[in-house]
Chains A and B, each alone.
Chain A
Amino acid sequence: MGNRKEKRISIRELSDREFFYGHKACPGCGGSLALRLALKVLGERSYAVVPAGCMSAVGFIFPQMAFTCNAIISTFPGTASMLSGVAAGARALGIKDFHAVGFAGDGGTADIGFQALSGAIDRHDKIIYICYDNEAYMNTGVQKSGLTPLRARTTTSPAGKRLKGAVTHKKPMFEIVAAHGIDYAATASVGYPLDYLRKLDYASKVDGTSYIHVFAPCPVGWGYDTSDTVSVAKNAVDCGLWYLAEFSDDKFTLNHKPAAFSSVGDYLLGQSRFHHLGEEDVKDIVAQRDARWSRILREWSFCDQ
């Protein structure tokens, strides 16, 4: 991964300009923070493509537009295909030094938008695709998505006598995207902004497709205090249920290795979507985490940022 690790973007260098501002997102929204930070790195020559979902619902209500760079809502399945079109159109018109960047939620990425994303990666289109993952369809009222974690309660995966929330695992989107042979992929968390900013900066220089999967908690859907978004996003990484990593040149690299994991139980039970879990459930989730981490540590190299 070479020289790019020698220089990292610092908060001091970050633009004071706001490109996503005055929107109507809920207090404590992790998704809007992910957008705001990303556009500060990518700058004014960005074309932002945002599918139907939370960020388009809060950012484009005529006549009050929240983007100060160019922005467009895509169809729900069409984030990546519209990005490809924007990039191809701009290229054909001779426009230089621009970013075609998409911001899609977890459902818009892992479920309905997956086909178009796969196609864009296959073409190595020069686009930046950012998935802000809040682990459910939040805009429509917290329904289960393909990235809802096992046993999370949503309005369509209720916790009752028979079922304890979602019965499926979170799709491993980072690995799925990497399996395409994508030019650059990364995971990030709004709880680790410097890591996220560095990855955005790198993605902006990739000559091909970049995918950044940023963990972006939602206080409304998850059931925690609106002031805790950043600490929840940080805790997810610290307890090992989320991880910070990169993929390029056909290699996986772990960027952050907690010396000791913080408590999974504290992370889960601090959110009302997991309040129904008992000790055994937490143990199961810890065991799954450990299995995943032993594979990560065995198969991926490590490079601390």
Chain B
Amino acid sequence: MLGQKAFLSGNEAVAAGVRLARPHVIAAYPITPQTTVIERLAEMVEDESLKAEYLHVESEHSALSACIGASAVGARTFTATSSQGLLYMAECLHYASGGRFPVVMMNANRSLALPWNIYGDQRDSLSLLDCGWIQVYAEDAQESLDLIIQGYAVAEHSDVLTPMMINLDGFVITHTYELVSLPAQQDVDAFLPPFRTVNKMDLDHPMSLAFTAGPAYNQAFKQLQHQAVLAASKVILETEERFGQLFGRYYPGLLETLFCDDAETILVTLGSVAGTVRPVVERLRSLGERVGLVRIRYMRPFPEAEIRKALSGAKAVGVLEKDISFGYEGTVFTNVNSALMRAKVMPPRLLNFVGGLGGKDISAIDIERLFLRLKSPDDGETVEFI
């Protein structure tokens, strides 16, 4: 069933999705370029189109800490952050996942100081890839809205019970206006029932949560946590299928591919830059070039099998990312490389392109140059900056 359409920025689409998901508690602290999300939510709470407790916390650490507290009594929670704020939350990120509190959070991908910079790259979330959260990267406003609704269904699933970080490239998605289809509330209510969990403090059945576990027990909890994130893969696919049936928008799982079946040269991307690559790939295809695109959507759980399948026939693969682990290579590259190595399906050439740091523009011409570069026999540096 179709709802109405609206012209929304990525941030506004997120706020619209949050309203439809009916969280009980929103804890918010402002940071550019996340601010318009929490501004819209404050207005919705004010005009009572969203009935939620809105906590004006005094830091990002407190924002997530409050969400964990609310989740621990069985409430559905939302917060949003970016960059320095995400890092300030770092302790609470591990806390939320370790305690199995399915908080849903939007992160506006932004560069990290120093030097100070408010523009988009993905070093903030990728530097926290190991914090135990499900990490997904949107490409546009519609996907951002849909991911919020799907995010609660995935995070709160009893096989998963793991928090979810929904990443939007700062400004490129957060502040770009697009025509967005708004699902109807009754359809979202049918898709996303109220949060039910046994992992909560219940006055009728008191429980101690977020406890200490010594060497004899600790690893067992960590293994369960690992299994839960792995289990999310299946739940994500089921959730997308159910979402598609109800709303008519189908998503391609942990990653999206374009022309990969017979592509010789493939560019692997994360986030909004896929929107720049896609028309280039289509144009080169029209000229007879066998090029393809992989857009990784979920970094955790990582689409290991899907990466192998998509890249197994390629002669040259480039991983383009807005991130670098200084002194080695990009983190997306490390993950892609590992998936290929484990299956021993290495393409003859595998290059790591790093660009867009601190918002540096990546143009269609840059993308064409990368496809040319992948054809050249020079293996070059470990990391090539574009």
**Nearest CB of chain A from residue B196's CB, rounded to whole Å:** 11
Interface string of B188-209 (1 = CB under 8 A from A): 0000000000000111001111
Chain B residues within 8 Å of A65, by CB: 208, 211
Is residue B43 within 8 Å, beta carbon to beta carbon, of the partner chain? Answer: no
**Nearest CB of chain B from residue A295's CB, rounded to whole Å:** 30
Q: Is the CB of B69 within 8 A of A85?
A: yes
Q: Is the CB of B203 within 8 A of A45?
A: yes
Given the known A-B contacts A60-B208, A88-B53, A115-B59, are A82 and B68 also in contact in the complex, defined by CB atoms under 8 Å? yes
Is residue A67 within 8 Å, beta carbon to beta carbon, of the partner chain? Answer: yes
Q: Is the CB of B203 within 8 A of A82?
A: no
Q: Is the CB of A88 within 8 A of B91?
A: no
Q: Is the CB of A71 within 8 A of B72?
A: no
Complex-state Cα separation, A80 to B57, whole angstroms? 10
Q: Is the CB of A89 within 8 A of B209?
A: no
Q: Is the CB of A92 within 8 A of B75?
A: yes
Given the known A-B contacts A74-B65, A89-B25, are A84 and B57 also in contact in the complex, defined by CB atoms under 8 Å? yes
Is residue B210 within 8 Å, beta carbon to beta carbon, of the partner chain? Answer: yes
Complex-state Cα separation, A77 to B61, whole angstroms? 8
Q: Is the CB of A75 within 8 A of B91?
A: yes
Chain B residues within 8 Å of A69, by CB: 206
CB-contacts of A74-94 with B (<8 A): 74-75, 77-78, 80-93
Q: Is the CB of B58 within 8 A of A119?
A: yes
Interface string of A46-66 (1 = CB under 8 A from B): 010100000011011111010
Given the known A-B contacts A81-B66, A82-B65, A123-B56, are A89 and B206 also in contact in the complex, defined by CB atoms under 8 Å? no
Chain B residues within 8 Å of A226, by CB: none
Is residue B271 within 8 Å, beta carbon to beta carbon, of the partner chain? Answer: no
Indicate which residue in B59, B71, B207, B212 contacts A57 across the interface (CB closer than 8 Å).
Answer: B212
Chain B residues within 8 Å of A302, by CB: none
Interface string of B29-57 (1 = CB under 8 A from A): 00000000000000000000000110111
Is residue A301 within 8 Å, beta carbon to beta carbon, of the partner chain? Answer: no
Question: Closest residue of chain A to B202, judged by CB?
Answer: A70
Given the known A-B contacts A60-B208, A69-B206, are A81 and B62 also in contact in the complex, defined by CB atoms under 8 Å? yes
Complex-state Cα separation, A82 to B92, whole angstroms? 11
Question: Closest residue of chain B to A74, judged by CB?
Answer: B65
Q: Is the CB of A116 within 8 A of B211?
A: no
Q: Is the CB of B27 within 8 A of A85?
A: yes
Complex-state Cα separation, A77 to B218, whole angstroms? 23
Given the known A-B contacts A57-B212, A95-B73, are A78 and B92 also in contact in the complex, defined by CB atoms under 8 Å? yes
Given the known A-B contacts A62-B217, A83-B69, are A115 and B207 also in contact in the complex, defined by CB atoms under 8 Å? no
Q: Is the CB of A70 within 8 A of B91?
A: no
Count of A-B residue pairs with CB < 8 Å:
159
Q: Is the CB of B58 within 8 A of A75?
A: no
Is residue A44 within 8 Å, beta carbon to beta carbon, of the partner chain? Answer: yes
Complex-state Cα separation, A80 to B25, whole angstroms? 16
Chain A residues within 8 Å of B62, by CB: 78, 80-81, 84, 115-116, 119
Is residue A73 within 8 Å, beta carbon to beta carbon, of the partner chain? Answer: yes
Q: Is the CB of A89 within 8 A of B69?
A: yes
Q: Is the CB of A62 within 8 A of B213?
A: yes
Indicate which residue in A62, A70, A86, A116 contacts B70 across the interface (CB closer than 8 Å).
Answer: A86
Given the known A-B contacts A86-B73, A90-B73, are A72 and B209 also in contact in the complex, defined by CB atoms under 8 Å? yes
**Nearest CB of chain B from residue A232's CB, rounded to whole Å:** 29
Q: Is the CB of B58 within 8 A of A72?
A: no
Chain B residues within 8 Å of A74, by CB: 65, 68-69, 210
Q: Is the CB of B208 within 8 A of A86?
A: no
Q: Is the CB of B211 within 8 A of A68?
A: no
Q: Is the CB of B58 within 8 A of A86?
A: no
Complex-state Cα separation, A61 to B59, whole angstroms? 30
Question: Closest residue of chain B to A52, judged by CB?
Answer: B212
Chain A residues within 8 Å of B67, by CB: 85
**Nearest CB of chain A from residue B206's CB, rounded to whole Å:** 5
Most buried by B among A45, A83, A89: A89
**Nearest CB of chain A from residue B275's CB, rounded to whole Å:** 36
Given the known A-B contacts A62-B211, A70-B203, A72-B72, are A89 and B24 also in contact in the complex, defined by CB atoms under 8 Å? yes
Indicate which residue in B53, B73, B214 contacts A61 across the interface (CB closer than 8 Å).
Answer: B214
Chain A residues within 8 Å of B65, by CB: 74-75, 77-78, 81-82, 85, 116
Is residue B355 within 8 Å, beta carbon to beta carbon, of the partner chain? Answer: no
Indicate which residue in B61, B213, B217 contacts A81 across the interface (CB closer than 8 Å).
Answer: B61
Is residue B259 within 8 Å, beta carbon to beta carbon, of the partner chain? Answer: no
**Nearest CB of chain A from residue B204's CB, rounded to whole Å:** 10
**Nearest CB of chain A from residue B128's CB, rounded to whole Å:** 16
Chain A residues within 8 Å of B63, by CB: 81
Indicate which residue in A49, A56, A75, A84 contacts B55 across the interface (CB closer than 8 Å).
Answer: A84
Most buried by B among A88, A91, A122: A88
Q: Is the CB of A92 within 8 A of B217?
A: no
**Nearest CB of chain B from residue A61's CB, rounded to whole Å:** 5
Question: Closest residue of chain B to A97, judged by CB?
Answer: B203
Q: Is the CB of B27 within 8 A of A116?
A: no
Is residue B95 within 8 Å, beta carbon to beta carbon, of the partner chain? Answer: yes
Indicate which residue in A73, A75, A91 contacts B53 across the interface (CB closer than 8 Å).
Answer: A91
Complex-state Cα separation, A94 to B55, whole angstroms? 17
Chain B residues within 8 Å of A90, by CB: 73, 75
A sample of 21 inter-chain contacts (CB < 8 A) reads A49-B69, A59-B208, A62-B213, A73-B212, A75-B65, A75-B95, A77-B65, A78-B68, A85-B68, A85-B72, A86-B72, A88-B25, A88-B70, A89-B53, A89-B77, A92-B75, A93-B75, A95-B73, A98-B203, A116-B58, A122-B58
Q: Which 4 A-B pairs have the closest CB atoms?
A: A85-B69, A89-B70, A119-B58, A89-B75
Known: A65-B211, A90-B73. 7 other contacts (CB 8 A): A62-B217, A70-B201, A73-B209, A78-B61, A85-B69, A86-B73, A92-B53
